[in-house]
Structure 1
Amino acid sequence: MEDLRKTFSTITRRMENVRKVIGGADGDAVGDGKLVDEVHDFADEWKYGITQIGETTAATVDMIDEIATKFDELDKDLMETLTEAKAG
């Protein structure tokens, strides 16, 4: 579970970095007014998509944490049940 959590956390951080880079795209560098608008539109669309991916991976990390907590609780309950059964 920890490896899975680490993977998704890494994706979340990387998507945030990419979003910042794309958000800072300077379309003015391409010169032509129409092309500048297209570059800005492209950057805005990708920025939105990357934000969505980042939010989804962050939510996945939260779910992984919840699952890990539940597994730990179940493991503890099982150990207690087995200990009581062995003693009784």
Structure 2
Amino acid sequence: MSDLRLEDTVFEHLKKTFSSISDRMEDARRDLRSADASAVGESKLIEDVQDFADDWGYGIKQLGKHTHGAVKMINTIGDTFDKLDQELAESLKVKKKGK
């Protein structure tokens, strides 16, 4: 390996964090979807609560998609970094042999 290092634990921590966010977003979306708006009583208020839950459910779903996308990107960055690290190490070996 070369002197260019980034610990794998950094990527693992980021993936764990973003995966956790994505999972929690999905749980919240399910909770909102199954909420009983009739508990608030007034029909207009029930409708407003349902609209709110629908809007937030959609937003939460989008946030979950983006955090899932972030996990994919973190994987790509880690793979690319490892590849570049290997290439740098190989180029340093070639330079040492050339001396």
**Shared fold (TM-score greater than 0.5)?**
yes
Aligned partner of 2:93 in structure 1 is 83
1:1-88 mapped onto 2 (5 Å cutoff): 1-88=11-98
Q: Which amino acid aligns with 2:88?
A: L
After the TM superposition, which segments of 4 or more aligned residues of structure 1 sit over 2 Å from their partners?
A: none
Q: Which amino acid aligns with 1:13?
A: D
Instruction: Provide the secondary structure at the position in 1 that maps to 2:35.
Output: coil
Q: Distance in 2 between matches of 1:11 and 1:22?
A: 16
TM score, norm. by length of structure 1: 0.92
Instruction: Provide the secondary structure at the position in 2 that maps to 1:78.
Output: helix
Aligned residues: 88
Deviations 1:49-75 (A, max 9, x none): 111111111111111111111000001
Give unpaired runs (5+ residues) of structure 2: 1-10
Q: Distance in 1 between matches of 2:22 and 2:42?
A: 35
Q: Distance in 2 between matches of 1:18 and 1:2?
A: 24
Structure of greater relative contact order (alpha carbons < 8 Å, 6+ residues apart): 2
